[in-house]
Copies of this chain bind each other. A is one copy, B any other.
Amino acid sequence: MTIVTCIAPVNIAVIKYWGKRDESLILPINDSLSATLDTEHLCAKTTVMISPNFTEDRIWLNGSEESINNPRLQNCLKKIRQKSELPAEMNDWKVHICSQNNFPTAAGLASSAAGYACLAYALAKLFKVKGDISEIARSGSGSACRSVYGGFVKWLMGTDPSGCDSIAKQVVPSSHWSDMRILVLVVNDSKKKVSSSVGMQRTVKTSELLSQRATTIVPHRIVKMEQALHNKDFETFAELTMKDSNNMHAVTLDTYPPCTYMNDTSHNIVDFVHAYNAAKNVVKVAYTFDAGPNATLFLLEKDVAEFIGALNHYFPPAENSDIKYQKGIFVENVVPSESILKNIKFVEQPAGKLKYIIHTRVGDGPKQLENSKNHLLNEDGLPH
């Protein structure tokens, strides 16, 4: 077998990774913990192929050829070839890589995490690499190591200078909390953002609050979050998730010059979630934001229909939207009751603040697609 095609999931951190202690090895300053999203709705797909006929390593990303000399890509290839259990002559064959995401970049989801997890997983299959591959995925993109497993996943920061113990571990599988649901709210936004890589560097260099976050706040939260996951304690899970998102965005704002990723609509979503929870008198929904304005919400299956009804009321879709507004798991629209609306202390927003929403669940790790129809490269090793 000299061709392998795999898919790998996106992950959303509930305890955030923000800041590296080693830039080139991609070693973080704190543990982080994420939910792996179902590949049915969001995934990266990668085909890797080796052949004695290939004259050089090549890569195509989302339809166009890119430079193979990207240092992060080289890190992955190097580690894979070191650990390869292929016969020596095959190990020297050149590799062709073709990768694409099934979700738009606009979703603001960390496509590099799914992409590098998928690459590491596919290469490991092809080169017969055994054991944990999260370290290899990490060397491509830090948070990619968490996309190597399903369910809820912890990335241990580790202590070894080599990074060998900075790896991902599954905390609970997706089946453990099967009624957990996730809504990605894609926000209309135009502002150019500082890349998360540059933002992290700037935070590490200039924020006087970051060390408090990394050395004290996050370690406590990680322990509590693991307990909340084991106990399926939604309220604790939700509060920790919201607080840690706010804490991460606080340190990005404390950076000099400050990095702002959330916009007015993001903050309106935050206020709406708190208003909704207050109206229900119990924490029903949690939000988290990565290095962009889009919200990812966590809630239980039984609460999805009513919440989406309320969301559509307070954040009405644009009237002439030509795209499908509600993607992912189908849910019947519920018109919120007058009594609910009366209790939600929140002002209706102008239409079109959200571009669309994706309804998904916690899912499993990467998998290989056996059917050859899935390959993104033809027999000559070129994209179809």
Contact = CB atoms under 8 A, between A and B. Distances in A.
Interface residues on A, range: 20 to 34
Interface string A25-64: 0000000000000000000000000000000000000000
Contact of A250 (B216, B239, B254): B254
A352 to B, nearest CB: 16
Copies in the complex: 2
A21 interface: no
Nearest to A242: B256
A136 B347 CA distance: 39
Contacts of A173: none
Contacts of A208: 212, 216-217, 247
The SS class assigned to the A binding surface is helix
Contacts of A270: 257-258, 260
Contacts of A254: 246-247, 250
A280 interface: no
Contacts of A267: 258, 260, 263
Nearest to A345: B192
A316 to B, nearest CB: 17
Nearest to A254: B250
A68 interface: no
B256 A253 contact: no
A264 interface: yes
A380 B256 CA distance: 57
Residue of A242, A243, A253, A271 most packed against chain B (CB within 10 A): A253
A295 interface: no
Nearest to A253: B250
A311 interface: no
A213 interface: yes
Contacts of A246: 253-256, 258
A340 B211 CA distance: 38
Interface string A249-289: 11101111110100110010011001000000000000000
A209 B256 contact: no
A312 to B, nearest CB: 21
Contacts of A239: 256
Contacts of A260: 267, 270
B250 A209 contact: yes
Contacts of A216: 208
A216 B254 CA distance: 15
A246 B208 CA distance: 11
Contact of A213 (B209, B242, B257, B264): B209
Given A212-B208, A212-B209, A250-B209, A243 B256 contact: yes
A32 to B, nearest CB: 17
Among A255, A256, A258, which residue has the most Cβ atoms of chain B within 10 A?
A: A258
Nearest to A218: B208
Contacts of A271: 257
A98 to B, nearest CB: 35
Interface string A315-352: 00000000000000000000000000000000100000
Contacts of A256: 239, 242-243, 246
Given A209-B217, A239-B256, A260-B267, 5 more contacts: A191-B264, A209-B250, A212-B212, A242-B257, A246-B258
Q: Nearest 10 pairs between A and B by C-beta?
A: A250-B254, A250-B250, A257-B274, A212-B212, A250-B253, A264-B264, A260-B267, A246-B258, A209-B209, A208-B217
